[in-house]
Every structure is written in structure tokens, then in C-alpha cells.
Structure 1
Amino acid sequence: MVKAKYQDVLDLGQELNIQNGDVSEENGVLKVNGTASTQYEKNQLWDKIKEIGGESPSDIIADIKVADESIYHKHTVKGGESLSKIAKHYYKDPMKYKAIFEANTGILKNPDVIHPGQELIIPNL
């Protein structure tokens, strides 16, 4: 029953390719374990859990680890994107584009010039 309630969380875990995933149900509580690639992916899972179960759900216990804590995420640039759009997506603040630029000076020479297909480091703030 509780597994069906949180099916969207389990589906998102598959979509994000969560490693070492394990799901079990005991006494009406869903236990979920796994390792996300980045903190951003872990946050996506927690956001989905809260969307379904509220701020402090009592019917799910999730132990999600992060494989690479040195960065927030990796982002592949798509057509029409800018560093400020990317910053707004990850940080909810377009002015944080400078942090993304500084983390990628090895491949970026100008914060106004990015190209589709480039893989950018999204740094922890």
C-alpha cells in the first residue's frame, strides 16, 4: 500500500539511475536506500518524497547517500541555455552564474559564451 503511494519516488530513482537501491516495506513504513550520483539528484528525490508525504512523512524512511560530494551536479548544456538560466534552475538565483563560470574556467573563457553539448560542473555553494 505505502509502496504504491511512493511509486513516483521509486520511478524517479530509476530515472536517476540510483545505485545500490533497495526498497522494503515493514509495518506500513517504506524503507528506501541507495546512492545518488550528486547532491542535486538526492535533493530531487527528497523533494518528491515531501511532495507526496509532506514535510516530515512518517511512512517512509530514506537513506540516500551521494557518490560525489565534491560537486552539486554535472549539467550538459542544451541549445538556448545561458549560465544565468542554468544558475536559476539549480540555485533558484540567476546571479549565481558567476559560481558556475568560475568552476568551469578550464572550458569557458567568457560567461556569455557556452555551447550545446558542453558538460559543466555545477559547484556546491
Structure 2
Amino acid sequence: MSTKDKYQGVLSLGEKLGIKDGNVHEENGILKIKGEAKTPYEKNLLWDKIKEIGGENASDIKANITVADDSVFHRHIVQKGESLSKIAKHYYGDPMKYKQIFSANTDILKNPDMIHPDQVLVIPKI
């Protein structure tokens, strides 16, 4: 199995996330990946996938993933049935951090209990 085949899950995730300026090549058994994620959250998703496949200190892959928008952690499109606490649990692991998401979106939200599908919420760095 080639290194590229081994890390196909990372490459597929990069395509799904729409990583820009992607460049992937194999050199002396080392897979070299370069690209630009939209947000730090998406960059973290890629690194998590790399660690899932190759372990914490993989020696057969080198990745240079930059971020286009470092001003926020992520931009989330609200789906039917979501709440701020559910979104906070997804991104931060703590539903009580919904207050930070609400505070970052007071320009479009007036009440933390009223969000609507298709709204784009800023998920702030905390």
C-alpha cells in the first residue's frame, strides 16, 4: 500500500472541505500535503484525521495546512433541530459555551433560544 493510499481518508476529507490550492505528492515514501483551509476548525479536522490514520507522531506524512480566515474559529450553517447549546457542544465539547456563540452573533440573533435553519453563525475562538 502506498502512503497516498494509506492517507486517502485525509485527501477525501480535504476535497469534501474544499481545501484551496491543494498539492499532494509522494517523495521517498513520505506523503507531502499542502493546502489552505477556510477556518481553524477545518484545519483541525484535517490534523485529527492525519493523527487517526498515522498516529500522534506520524513520520510518513508532512502537511502544511494554512488558514484563510483566522479571525473566527468557524462559520456554522444552522441545520433544522439545532440549538446554540447543541452547536457549542459540537465545537467546544461544552453546551454551556452557547453564550459565547450568542455574544459573537448579536448582530443577527436577539434571543439565544431562537435560531433558524440556514443562518450562518460565527463560532468564536475561545
Shorter-chain TM-score category? over 0.9
Which residue of structure 2 aligns with residue 6 of structure 1? Answer: 7
Normalising by structure 1, what TM-score?
0.99
Alignment of 1:28-107 (within 5 A): 28-107=29-108
Take 2:117 and 2:3, find their aligned partners in 1: how far apart are those partners?
41
* Superposition deviation, residue 110 in structure 1: 0.7
Which residue of structure 2 aligns with residue 124 of structure 1? Answer: 125
The SS at the match of 2:80 is: coil
* Superposition deviation, residue 117 in structure 1: 1.1
**Mapped pair 1:114 → 2:115:** yes
Take 1:117 and 1:53, find their aligned partners in 2: how far apart are those partners?
36
After TM superposition, the runs of 4+ consecutive aligned structure 1 residues lying more than 2 A away are none
The SS at the match of 1:31 is: strand
Indicate the RMSD between aligned Cα atoms, in angstroms.
Answer: 0.5
Take 1:32 and 1:117, find their aligned partners in 2: how far apart are those partners?
32
For residues 89-122 of structure 1, what are the alpha-carbon distances to aligned partners after superposition, in whole Å with 9 as ceiling and x for unaligned? 0111111101100000000001111111111000
Q: How many residues align?
A: 125
Kindly, what percent of the aligned residue pairs are identical?
67
* Superposition deviation, residue 22 in structure 1: 0.3
Normalising by structure 2, what TM-score?
0.98
Letter in 1 for 2:9: D
